[in-house]
């Protein structure tokens, strides 16, 4: 990778704007493919990046290029794919049409199947898998706020592309087991739907044992499905995946004593699925709980809570009224 080449962000929503903005702020040549709404916000207010750690940076208009025309990919040395999973095929076609054949393509998306979809549509290209552990909230007026911690992890390639992409404030680490990392992130992302259905800030939700127990039951269904597939997930948090459901079920005082320091979440944190419901957008439920339901059915397992959550999210999508503000009991039934 030539460090002076253009880094194009394909699908600059919350994650894409934050990652692209951080790279641009560090002096990299960055171009963001974004929707007209996002471009209009940034043109009016600038691109402002904040975080729970105290970051507050305004990226000047001349530091980053925005466009809604996929032809902007023609100058890319690296393409960071940050679109929703349902849009992967469409963005792959745009990359195939416009991006140079030697551009490195890195998926920074939720879900499991996106890299395979990209590789199928981009034969012969260097396509790498990645995982973004942190949450970014679109605060409006061009501001994107990182509200949880963690370093981006990217599949190792011969050029160590991920390591060469790291900039101050945005570390990218290499992994030799990116498949395990992605499955580990999927388990954690099962809480996205619960947070969306609750309507609560993420920190408030996870501070309540009733919500953590529901999350634990989701993870238990996910772990059973993944085990049936012969996959060993790699932890996306400091906690080993197999321990996490047990630890989540601890009483509040003990949970906070043992694990409170490992959860760096500020009061603004919400899941991306909550934001999707608020904006009336299609969610990624089929690529999260939907994956667990599909595996369970194929393997003869039961995943009733995952099925229930899929049904509730689809109902909320259809209603178009944002988060339904459900309780844990309304989602999973009464619990001891």
Asked if residue 1 belongs to a domain, the reply is no
pTM of the shown model: 0.90
User: Which residues, at least 6 apart from 129, have a Cβ–Cβ distance to it below 8 Å?
Assistant: 106, 107, 114, 115, 154, 155, 178, 179, 182
CB atoms within 10 A of CB 245: 21
Quick one: 113 and 201 in the same domain? no
- The last residue of one of the domains, among 137, 157, 176, is 176
In the sheet that 172-175 helps form, which strands lie side by side, from edge to edge? 65-67, 30-33, 6-10, 76-81, 104-107, 127-131, 152-155, 172-175
CATH code of 193's domain:
1.10.1040.10
Which residue do the tokens 């909320």 mark? 316
Quick one: 126 and 206 in the same domain? no
Asked if residue 40 belongs to a domain, the reply is yes
- The last residue of one of the domains, among 120, 152, 176, is 176
Query: What is the per-residue pLDDT across 180-218, written as a single tens digit (0 to 9) for each?
Result: 999 999 999 999 999 999 999 999 999 999 999 999 999
Residue 246: give the domain boundaries: 179-332
Asked if residue 285 belongs to a domain, the reply is yes
Asked if residue 47 belongs to a domain, the reply is yes
| d(C-alpha 59, C-alpha 44), whole Å | 13
Asked if residue 124 belongs to a domain, the reply is yes
Quick one: 39 and 171 in the same domain? yes
Q: Burial level of 107, CB count in 10 A (0-12/13-18/19+)?
A: buried
Contact 139, 129 (CB under 8 A): no
Asked if residue 251 belongs to a domain, the reply is yes
> How many domains does the chain divide into?
2
User: What does the block give as tokens for 206?
Assistant: 């996870």
Quick one: 304 and 319 in the same domain? yes
Quick one: 36 and 121 in the same domain? yes
Quick one: 147 and 185 in the same domain? no
Quick one: 208 and 151 in the same domain? no
CATH code of 105's domain:
3.40.50.720
Q: Which residues of the chain have pLDDT under 70?
A: 1-4, 237, 259-263, 334-336
Quick one: 194 and 156 in the same domain? no
Asked if residue 88 belongs to a domain, the reply is yes
Asked if residue 207 belongs to a domain, the reply is yes
Quick one: 183 and 172 in the same domain? no
Quick one: 163 and 30 in the same domain? yes
| d(C-alpha 200, C-alpha 271), whole Å | 10
Quick one: 153 and 48 in the same domain? yes
User: End-to-end distance of the chain based on CA atoms, in angstroms?
Assistant: 55
- The last residue of one of the domains, among 108, 143, 176, is 176
In the sheet that 47-51 helps form, which strands lie side by side, from edge to edge? 56-59, 47-51, 143-146, 136-140
Query: What is the per-residue pLDDT across 232-258, written as a single tens digit (0 to 9) for each?
Result: 999 876 778 888 899 999 999 888 877
Quick one: 133 and 157 in the same domain? yes
């Amino acid at each position: 990778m030539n460090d002076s080449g253009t880094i194009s962000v394909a699908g600059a929503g919350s994650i894409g704007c934050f990652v692209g903005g951080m790279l641009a702020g560090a002096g990299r040549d960055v171009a963001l493919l974004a929707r007209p709404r996002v471009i209009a916000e940034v043109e009016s207010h600038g691109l402002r990046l904040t975080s729970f750690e105290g970051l507050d940076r305004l990226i000047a208009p001349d530091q980053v290029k925005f466009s809604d025309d996929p032809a902007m990919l023609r100058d890319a040395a690296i393409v960071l794919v940050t679109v929703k999973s349902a849009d992967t095929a469409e963005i792959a076609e745009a990359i195939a049409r416009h991006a140079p054949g030697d551009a490195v393509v890195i998926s920074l998306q939720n879900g499991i199947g996106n890299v395979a979809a990209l590789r199928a549509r981009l034969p012969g290209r260097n396509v790498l898998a990645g995982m973004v552990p942190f949450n970014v909230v679109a605060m409006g007026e061009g501001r994107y706020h990182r509200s949880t911690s963690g370093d981006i992890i990217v599949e190792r390639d011969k050029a160590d592309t991920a390591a060469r992409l790291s900039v101050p404030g945005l570390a990218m680490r290499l992994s030799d087991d990116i498949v395990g990392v992605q499955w580990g992130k999927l388990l954690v992302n099962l809480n996205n739907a619960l947070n969306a259905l609750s309507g609560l800030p993420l920190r408030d939700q996870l501070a309540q044992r009733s919500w953590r127990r529901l999350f634990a039951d989701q993870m238990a269904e996910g772990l059973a499905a993944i085990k049936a597939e012969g996959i060993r997930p790699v932890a996306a948090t400091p906690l080993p995946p197999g321990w996490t459901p047990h630890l989540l079920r601890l009483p509040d005082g003990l949970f906070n004593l043992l694990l409170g320091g490992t959860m760096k979440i500020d009061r603004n944190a919400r899941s991306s699925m909550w934001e999707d419901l608020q904006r009336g957008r299609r969610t990624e439920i089929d690529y999260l709980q939907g994956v667990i339901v599909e595996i369970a059915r194929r393997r003869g397992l039961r995943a009733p809570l995952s099925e229930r959550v899929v049904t509730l999210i689809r109902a909320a999508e259809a209603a178009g009224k944002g988060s339904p503000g459900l309780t844990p009991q309304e989602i999973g039934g009464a619990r001891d």
